[in-house]
Amino acid sequence: MNTRQPFSRHVGSDRNNSRFSRGNSFNRPRTTKRQKTFHPSLFIKRAQESEITTFIPQNQFNDFALLPLIKKNIEARGYKSPTPIQDGIIPHVLEGRDVVGIANTGTGKTAAFLLPLIHKVLSNPNQKVLIIAPTRELAIQIEDELFEFAKNTPIVSVLCIGGANMRQQKNRLYRKHDFVIGTAGRLLDLEQSRALRLNEYASVVLDEVDRMLDMGFIRDMQYIIAKLPKNRHSLFFSATLPTEVQNVMKSFLNNPITITIKSSEPTAKNVDQDVVYVKGRNRVDVLHDLLIQDGFKKVLIFGRTKHGMNKLTLKLVERGFKVAAIHGNKSQSQRQMALDSFKSDKVQILLATDIASRGLDIDDITHVINYDLPETYEDYIHRIGRTGRAEKKGNALTFID
């Protein structure tokens, strides 16, 4: 008899997505980006609503060979039809094929791998799934999705990220569980302490691999792949395929099916982009005048430094705005509280450093404001990608001296 309780999730810890530091072969030098000069025209572009085409899926969710309870949870989420990546990926994962998904954030890829893997675990309770994400925030969002899709099932997950007690995490890993979701640094710490046995996970997802490699996790990924069981079900997701990503892909997958869902434009088509000239003006006054305008309902503001965002938070609070902030000096619980407040509209404004420019999936952000210029144009693209999602129009404003 199965005595496990309906879906539960356990939070573990990660040393701020820490580098794997035991042994010189896995030490990674820190790298810093040089500040670049951008021409203002890079930040001015109109949304191209007329070019958006309607996708007609080949399948509906009811067509997929998923258990009835999973379909019920899909319906409860309000999902009507699969997105292109879901339509393309789900049938192959259900067949047990290795899969490569080339897709940007905001395309529905999390559900594309979670739904068939939940089905797989419920159909065979001896199956265990390992999901590796580049950031704490993305790992949390994946587990939030898992929680919704696995409601009223006996599935148990363990979240292995920073800000929580590592001893508690180890204890939860020792218990019966089905899904482990975490970041590479923390997973390697747990493997080294023998709390996590990588060879027990027959289904493995690497999500946003290009981002993991950008963050310097190439050796970590190589180490993890070497420890995984040879006979495994492997799912691989990335927005781009540079040479390093292709090398990881070849070592990870066996005769995969590749599904590519990618915008042809380097920036979001749904985002109106413009600049605000602030030279000789008080930046906080300019920002204040924007935030009190109609339509600035849910605003994500990016700055370059933790100190700068802390100062701006205090100034905006003094002016009566409801503000939360996330950056590297915040504990995981503080960051999660800020994100929850922003998601639930308890605060109007979320301030962030570039730690939040990737992986965040928050509905209905009306505006992204670049209070400080990003370090690279790629960072800019990822910042403004937090708005204009799910075919809705978004707005991006960049302060220029």
Residue-wise pLDDT tens digits, 149-186? 999 999 999 999 876 678 888 999 999 999 999 999 89
Structural contact between residues 326 and 350, judged by C-beta atoms closer than 8 angstroms: yes
Top CATH class of 265-400 equals alpha beta
Quote the CA–CA distance of 202 and 197 in Å, as a whole number: 11
Quote the CA–CA distance of 383 and 389 in Å, as a whole number: 12
- Global pTM reads 0.69
Quote the CA–CA distance of 151 and 306 in Å, as a whole number: 37
Structure tokens at 347: 């605060």
Domain range list for the chain: 8-15+55-261, 265-400
Residue-wise pLDDT tens digits, 241-281? 888 889 999 999 999 999 998 654 445 678 999 999 999 99
Residue 352, SS3?
A: strand
What is the rounded radius of gyration, in angstroms, for the C-alpha atoms of the chain? 21
Could you tell me whether strands 299-302 and 349-352 are parallel, antiparallel, or unpaired per DSSP bridges?
A: parallel
Question: Per CATH, which fold does 8-15+55-261 belong to?
Answer: Rossmann fold (3.40.50)
Q: What Å distances lie between residue 335 and 7, 67, 83, 135, 329, CA to CA?
A: 24, 35, 30, 12, 9
pLDDT at residue number 161: 84
Residue 131, SS3?
A: strand
Are 8-15+55-261 and 265-400 equal in CATH topology? Answer: yes
Structure tokens at 90: 């789900």
Structural contact between residues 353 and 309, judged by C-beta atoms closer than 8 angstroms: yes
More confident residue, 31 or 217: 217
